Structure 1
């Protein structure tokens, strides 16, 4: 597997692939981007172009989420506060939770790695306290 760390970003290609999948799913949630639109965005990433396995991983996450989005939403809603719905979350929180849930349930990636990466992405892309919320929801998904 291609795991070189790029000096300018300090991210592995797998981390970049996961991040691009989250942004692609965000586009789907925010503006209704379809798989082709999302992949057109992803295919322009120079880091992913260099690692075929990373591109494949990214596309796989996108496929899994788009195929199972409704069932993942129902699962995530089970763990929200009483009276909350999935739609109440920000689109980026939704995207991070969907991609992480897909990776936990439908890949062989260690769930601790998935949760850690989701928290890192939440710290980068969401409001200040969102990472705690996302961490809590994903721990419930795992159990």
Structure 2
């Protein structure tokens, strides 16, 4: 797990949160983040993929989240919602990343940006989603 990829996820969660809250154009958010960050510190193509991948696959991602949630996705804290959507996107569209890495990274993001116990919620939800999306990998 590379530090640059972790940083890409960190920026992506912030950008997805911004998109969720303001409905701002993805290209504008992307340009804003590139202008504010040291590009050598994170994996820019991965950041771009995550930033565009979540909104472009939103129905699929929310559909995968729905059975794992105890409430409507819209009532989940906006930070945790961004982390969950990012995590599910990686589980579904980045099979090269082990599911445990996806979950661990999401939990760390929830610890940094989310509510006090939000990381536990994120861990439980993504664990349930992984059991359906990555069943073969989990069984080993």
Answering whether residue 124 of structure 2 is matched by residue 133 of structure 1, we say no
Return the TM-score normalized by structure 1.
Answer: 0.84
- Is the 8 Å Cα contact of residues 76 and 137 (structure 1) preserved in structure 2? yes
- Is the 8 Å Cα contact of residues 61 and 102 (structure 1) preserved in structure 2? yes
Q: Give the alignment's Cα RMSD to 1 decimal.
A: 1.7
Answering whether residue 22 of structure 2 is matched by residue 31 of structure 1, we say yes
Counterparts of 1:46 and 1:95, CA distance in 2? 20
More helix by share: 2
Q: How many correspondences in the alignment?
A: 130
How far the C-alpha of 1:44 sits from its partner, in A, is: 2.2
Counterparts of 1:111 and 1:44, CA distance in 2? 31
Give the corresponding residue for 2:134: none
Answering whether residue 87 of structure 2 is matched by residue 100 of structure 1, we say yes
After TM superposition, the structure 1 = structure 2 runs for residues 3-22 of structure 1, keeping only pairs within 5 Å, are: 3=2, 12-22=3-13
Counterparts of 1:140 and 1:32, CA distance in 2? 28
Counterparts of 2:14 and 2:126, CA distance in 1? 19
Give the corresponding residue for 2:136: none
Gaps of 5+ in 2: 132-140
Return the TM-score normalized by structure 2.
Answer: 0.86
Deviating above 6 A after TM superposition, structure 1's stretches of 4 or more consecutive aligned residues are: none
SS state at 2:57 partner: helix
Give the corresponding residue for 1:142: 130
Gaps of 5+ in 1: 4-11
How far the C-alpha of 1:46 sits from its partner, in A, is: 3.4
Answering whether residue 52 of structure 2 is matched by residue 79 of structure 1, we say no
How far the C-alpha of 1:78 sits from its partner, in A, is: 1.2
